[in-house]
């Protein structure tokens, strides 16, 4: 199949920081020639250091790499204070609530809000440098204030996505030994108020001894229960705090935040990020990839509960001195034109969203965007999963009017910021390809020994040199960190970072991501471990065994397909009832995003003689594909036919 190539237009070339492939290659070359010099130059140019670093990279204890050794800085200072001279009255955050209420927060206001919040954490709750604070919040500006307030006093935040259940929240509180939970009464979604605080109450009902207090921001004023001596009203307390708070002096390598993400086992991993390396790359990619300019309005539709919300709603845009938009609700309220109306009204220049949302809005309104003036847009972005050419073309033509480059950004919670992405003013783009590694990033498709793959040969997507914004460790579990990322592939005999993704080069060296090689699936752009869902389903008293696989889905990317073996042979007369119950358990343990779309009650699972479930076979069955794999290694090959029969019914 012939793939189309789209060259950047003259307008984008003119305004972009990196204007040609020659300029891109010069940067790549600079990093090739003198890796530490390259990163040192960026760190000097971009970070307002309190004290300069003494060494760029310490690799003496690989893979526990350290960057910008001895440097002192404060991330909230980098995001706020240093802009006040030039931008105190510039909008830092433009927020719209789902009901249509609006707030515009200037950099000076942001400074006061964050300082008050920081003082509140310090003075009222005794939060100190290194303490963990869980943020369980809707998409309101206070979520960003809370993150920045933690950064200001050196507390380590752990944002938990507001769609996660009480059990999931509890697991994360316990693992991080958090002292404080910051939450809200609730927020608005699909035109209705919903509640968050009661979920916190359930989470804290057991085993959360580390928690000393709960701070509640009022968003929708719905009635909630207050626990005397534990719960505090943010809106009442915040006005009593001083708007000035000295930023804590932080070391480059002090942890900035934890963010839990799914891996291939049941227990989520607390991905730990650093101060200097993280903020350097958040800011740099904001400038290179989104090319934000002084008067631009930039909008990323992610939730702050995901890494995209951390790096590209809060830290990256603010470090770059940009105006970042934040929206509370769903894209389809009151109708499928909500986002397009907002782009028109706020004259958004850069728009960054997920393929799953593009597919949904495409399906709901092919020509809906025609009703709006989207001519302010300059650059479009996607993230989270591979984008299919069909959705890409609709996005490119209908939203971008055929004139906005699409930056298809490949990266992960663990990478902190973009790794593989087009540069809008330089890279000729192909629908569905994330194109090339960014300068300084050694992303390579290799085999397990480190040999580079030939075009069209699938391999392991690895990053073969450390980079500043990389994961430092898994909170409290160094061993799991090494095992998860540094034990699959080697290059020149040395372990290198393996992303978990497969990918291939085309004839021109463009990178095409083929998807996860481990048991992680991607539903609505949300990363879920099949093991987590299996553990939840296993909690149902009638379930004996379960295997979950992802099934390709036109809108969601992947849907959740569960193969369930029930205990005893009572039969499944109450099949529908059990299905409902199973989904209830999933919602309770994880949240609604992980609900099973299809459940097949099967007599057994295809297992090898050593007891390992052959998921490849189950994936093929879920898709309705013919089984090409050799089934002779199975303990009981006949089970495959039986499963196919059930699924066909």
- Site of interaction with ligand 7RM (CB under 6 A): 261, 306-308, 383-386, 408-413, 434, 499-501, 513, 516, 522, 527
Nearer to ligand 7RM, 97 or 305 (CB): 305
Least separation in angstroms between residue 462's CB and ligand 7RM is: 12
Count CA atoms within 13 Å of residue 261 on its CB side.
Answer: 26
* Contacts (Cβ under 8 Å, ≥6 apart) of 561: 548, 549, 550, 551, 596, 597, 598, 600, 618, 622
Question: Among 248, 213, 252, which residue's Cα sits nearest to residue 233?
Answer: 213
Q: Which is nearer to ligand 7RM, 107 or 512 (CB)?
A: 512
Query: What is the closest distance, in whole angstroms, from the C-beta atom of residue 406 to ligand 7RM in the complex?
Result: 10
Q: Are 196 and 224 in contact (CB under 8 A)?
A: no
Give least dist CB 194 to ligand 7RM, A.
23
**Is the sign of the CA dihedral 174, 175, 179, 184 positive or negative?**
negative
Shortest separation between residue 499's beta carbon and ligand 7RM, angstroms: 6
- Buried/exposed code over 166-205 (b: 16+ C-beta within 10 A; e: otherwise): bbbbbbbbbbbebbbbbbbbbbbbeeeeebbbebbbebbe
Closest CA to 429 of 49, 24, 112: 24
- The residue (of 252 and 433) whose beta carbon lies closer to ligand 7RM is 433
Task: Tell me whether residue 149 or residue 513 sits nearer to ligand 7RM (CB atom).
Answer: 513
- Of 257 and 410, nearer to ligand 7RM (C-beta) is 410
As measured in angstroms, the least distance from the Cβ of 175 to ligand 7RM is 18
**Phi/psi at 202 (nearest 5 deg)?**
-65, -45
Q: Specify the residue, 71 or 416, whose C-beta has the smaller distance to ligand 7RM.
A: 416
Residue number, 131 or 501, with CB nearest to ligand 7RM: 501
CA separation for the pair 64, 70 (Å, rounded): 16
CB atoms under 10 Å from CB of 545, counted, come to 17
Cross-strand partners of 261: 269
Checking phi first, is residue 207 left (phi over 0); if not, alpha (psi -120 to 50) or beta? left
Q: HSE on the CB side for 431, CA within 13 Å?
A: 16
CA 208, 210, 214 angle in degrees (round to 5)? Answer: 80
Question: 32, 31, 24: which is closest to 422 by C-alpha?
Answer: 24
Cβ proximity to ligand 7RM: between 316 and 386 the closer is: 386
Q: Which CB atom, from 321 or from 386, has the smaller least distance to ligand 7RM? A: 386
- Tokens 């209908």, located at residue: 398
Q: How far is the CB of 262 from ligand 7RM (least distance, A)?
A: 8
**47 vs 383, which CB is nearer to ligand 7RM?**
383
Smallest distance, ligand 7RM to C-beta of residue 239, A = 37
Do the beta carbons of residue 212 and residue 179 sit within 8 Å? yes
Nearer to ligand 7RM, 107 or 299 (CB): 299
Task: Tell me how far, at minimum, the Cβ of 363 lies from ligand 7RM, in Å.
Answer: 20
Alpha-carbon torsion 605, 606, 610, 615, what sign?
negative
**Residue nearest to ligand 7RM according to CB distances in the complex:** 413
Q: Which residue number, 154 or 500, has a Cβ lying nearer to ligand 7RM? A: 500
Nearer to ligand 7RM, 393 or 565 (CB): 393
| CB of 525 vs ligand 7RM, minimal distance in Å | 7
Separation in Å, CA 551 to CA 387, 536, 599, 622: 16, 19, 12, 6
Distance CA 227, CA 614 (A): 49
In angstroms, what is the minimal distance from the CB of 410 to ligand 7RM?
A: 4
Question: Measuring CA to CA, which residue among 271, 280, 311 is closest to residue 475?
Answer: 271
Alpha-carbon span 25 to 32, nearest angstrom: 10
Preceding omega of 574 cis (within 30 degrees of 0): no
Cα gap 472→478, rounded to integer Å: 9
Length of the chain counted residue by residue: 649
CA-based torsion, 396, 397, 402, 403: positive or negative: negative
The CB-of-311 to ligand 7RM minimum distance in angstroms stands at 8
């Amino acid at each position: 199949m012939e793939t189309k190539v789209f060259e950047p237009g003259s307008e984008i070339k003119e305004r972009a920081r990196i204007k040609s492939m020659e300029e891109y290659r010069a940067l790549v070359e600079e990093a090739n020639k003198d890796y530490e010099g390259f990163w040192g130059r960026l760190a000097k140019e971009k970070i307002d250091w309190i004290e300069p670093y003494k060494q760029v990279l310490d690799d003496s204890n690989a893979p526990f790499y350290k960057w910008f050794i001895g440097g002192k800085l404060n991330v909230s200072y980098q995001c706020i204070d240093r802009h006040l001279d030039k931008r105190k009255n510039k909008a830092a955050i433009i927020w719209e609530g789902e009901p249509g209420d609006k707030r515009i927060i200037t950099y000076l206001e942001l400074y006061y809000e964050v300082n008050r919040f920081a003082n509140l954490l310090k003075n009222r709750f005794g939060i100190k440098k290194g303490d963990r604070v869980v943020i369980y919040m809707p998409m309101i500006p206070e979520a960003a204030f809370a993150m920045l307030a933690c950064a200001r006093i050196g507390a380590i935040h752990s944002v938990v996505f507001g769609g996660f259940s009480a059990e999931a929240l509890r697991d994360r509180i316990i693992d991080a030994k958090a002292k404080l939970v910051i939450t809200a009464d609730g927020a608005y979604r699909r035109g209705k108020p919903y509640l968050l605080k009661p979920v916190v109450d359930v989470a804290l009902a057991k085993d959360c001894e580390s928690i000393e207090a709960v701070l509640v921001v009022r968003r929708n004023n719905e009635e909630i229960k207050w626990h005397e001596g534990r719960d505090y009203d943010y809106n009442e307390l915040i006005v009593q705090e001083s708007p000035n708070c000295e930023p804590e002096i932080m070391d480059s390598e002090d942890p900035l935040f934890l963010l839990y993400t799914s891996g291939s086992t049941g227990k989520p991993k607390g991905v730990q990020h650093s101060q200097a390396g993280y903020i350097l790359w958040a800011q740099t990619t904001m400038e290179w990839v989104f090319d934000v300019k002084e008067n631009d309005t930039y909008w990323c539709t992610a939730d702050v509960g995901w890494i995209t919300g951390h790096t590209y709603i809060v830290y990256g845009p603010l470090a770059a001195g940009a105006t970042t938009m934040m929206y509370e609700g769903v894209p389809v309220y009151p109708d499928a034109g909500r986002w397009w109306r907002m782009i028109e009204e706020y004259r958004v220049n850069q728009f960054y969203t997920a393929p799953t949302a593009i597919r949904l809005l495409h399906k709901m309104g092919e020509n809906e965007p025609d009703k709006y003036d989207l001519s302010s847009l300059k650059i479009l972005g996607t993230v989270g999963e591979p984008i299919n050419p069909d959705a890409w073309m609709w996005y490119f033509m209908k939203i971008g009017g055929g004139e906005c480059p699409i930056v298809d950004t490949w990266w992960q919670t663990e990478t902190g910021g973009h790794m593989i992405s087009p540069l809008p003013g330089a890279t000729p783009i192909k629908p569905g390809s994330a194109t090339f590694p960014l300068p300084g990033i050694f992303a390579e498709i290799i085999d397990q020994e480190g040999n580079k793959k030939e075009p069209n040969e699938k391999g392991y997507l690895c990053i073969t040199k450390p980079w500043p914004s990389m994961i430092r460790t898994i909170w409290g579990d160094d061993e799991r960190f090494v095992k998860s990322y540094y034990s699959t592939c080697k290059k020149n005999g040395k372990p290198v970072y393996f992303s978990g993704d497969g990918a291939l080069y085309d004839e021109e060296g463009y990178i095409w991501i083929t998807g996860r090689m481990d048991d992680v699936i991607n539903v609505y752009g949300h990363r879920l471990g099949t093991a987590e869902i299996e553990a939840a389903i296993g909690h149902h008293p009638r379930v004996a065994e379960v295997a979950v696989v992802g099934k390709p889905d036109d809108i969601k990317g992947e849907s959740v397909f569960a193969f369930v073996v029930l205990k005893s042979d009572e039969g499944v007369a109450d099949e529908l009832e059990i299905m409902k119950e199973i989904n209830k358990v999933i919602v309770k343990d994880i949240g609604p995003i992980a609900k099973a779309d299809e459940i097949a009650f099967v007599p057994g699972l295809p297992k090898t003689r050593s007891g390992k479930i052959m998921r490849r076979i189950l994936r093929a069955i879920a898709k309705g594909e013919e089984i090409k794999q050799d089934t002779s290694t199975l303990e009981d090959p006949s089970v495959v036919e039986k499963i196919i029969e059930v699924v066909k019914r």
